[in-house]
Structure 1
């Protein structure tokens, strides 16, 4: 595999590939040249550049104080876009790949108490958060569900390390997660962190809307669905640094329009889930369609993901 890094990327060697659970493998990566790995904090993810046309994002689930390796866990998704299958079937110990990042749009805030809710592979970004909360002396609990106990990565490790703080709830034994009961016991100001499949995220959003004393933080692995009847109109984008204006057609993204105009921009997922293409907004009102920014951040309107988001005004001014 290619061992030359592009700007903003780092060459990493796969030093271990180990099974974690049914359909889940862990990859441990070290700098290919023997140097240190990038610094990161709980909630961070990296890009794995799997080939010239395939880049995927995976949450870091190792120890942030470890400067020698990075660890990600990958669920094999047969109906996905091919990235996880590539990791499971083609990536081998000793291979060298490129990574981008880390980036963090799911940072752990300071709080006296936390409730962590994981569904399946959604445990990965939460794992280092649990240890950080424990180290801070905060009150915390984890509610962790999966299809079966055998499909739940890190389940035995978590139960052994944290005991009663962890509630393992495989669906075939307990049914769907009882979110209401878990959150009814949470004190005002509790930070709620949730990651997992879309039905779980929608369910916890609904539960937390009825409990305004809780502060919900979620991370999506897939893009949110748009509301029915959404119409895409053409608009203009002004690049503040050059003063240049580029038209964005109704059938293209801002990134597409910029590339058509010869403007180089950073991007990765093109789904509004990774944050690579985030830019500052200096004028106009964005039509946010990403899965990263909070409602408050979207309302502020001073940043946007140009891979999926559009404009509610005839022109946007962005910091490019």
Structure 2
């Protein structure tokens, strides 16, 4: 026995890894991982940092070469111009003048509040459609057997691989035929259809792992298939449903191409609306950055509140047992 232990020790000493089994190798490995993490963090976070500092710079400082990393002349000019533009475009100039005695005169005529309302309308509608259709379909695919089931699942997965621009022309023809051009309903239907396959795959994982004993108990209590789904499964799938809704909501909130193509200026959502702040060589980048920060606040606040449901929902069907 002692000889066997000695042989194992000698074999380990012969094949040991310097990177993993020595103190110096451990320091090198940790330093490399830390450096890689820092590079990735800078790559991801620096654009956000630059947007924030640009919002607090004056136009003159933004045009300075070389650019300044920190605002030297701290200014709220960008936020003031955005607010004044929204007040004027929204038709609240007289109200502000009567209540506050402040005359609003803005060269920019963009209603940022209206853009946010339009985006919320589209994003919430698309999220609800994706969750309702995707959840019902995932329940059937998980609990029923029928010919072509595997092919249907493969087609749903393949649909996620096509970029939105690939279906732009047929979507344009369909929306025009239905008479929905320049309506928010068109975007709601398109975004809901685009995200429903993801919801199907996410929720199917939850339904596949759902204990059969609970479903059998509901049948013993004389529950129909719909009642079992609605009163038993749906309440217990809350986290996964919230995760699905957030995914669909964020896609609809950030999508640009369809919104820019199917809507005119009066009905723009946030992405094409922010694009109108960019005016060639006369662009006031502090205004663009300030508007981007303002429209991000409601989404960030909502995600901060429900992020735990999002994480739990994404991992809800990942573990068997």
TM-score by length of 1: 0.19
Greater percentage in strand: 1
TM-score by length of 2: 0.19
Please tell me whether Structure 1 or Structure 2 has the larger radius of gyration of its CA atoms. 2
Q: Which structure would you say has the larger RCO, counting Cα contacts within 8 Å and 6 or more residues apart? A: 2
Greater percentage in helix: 2
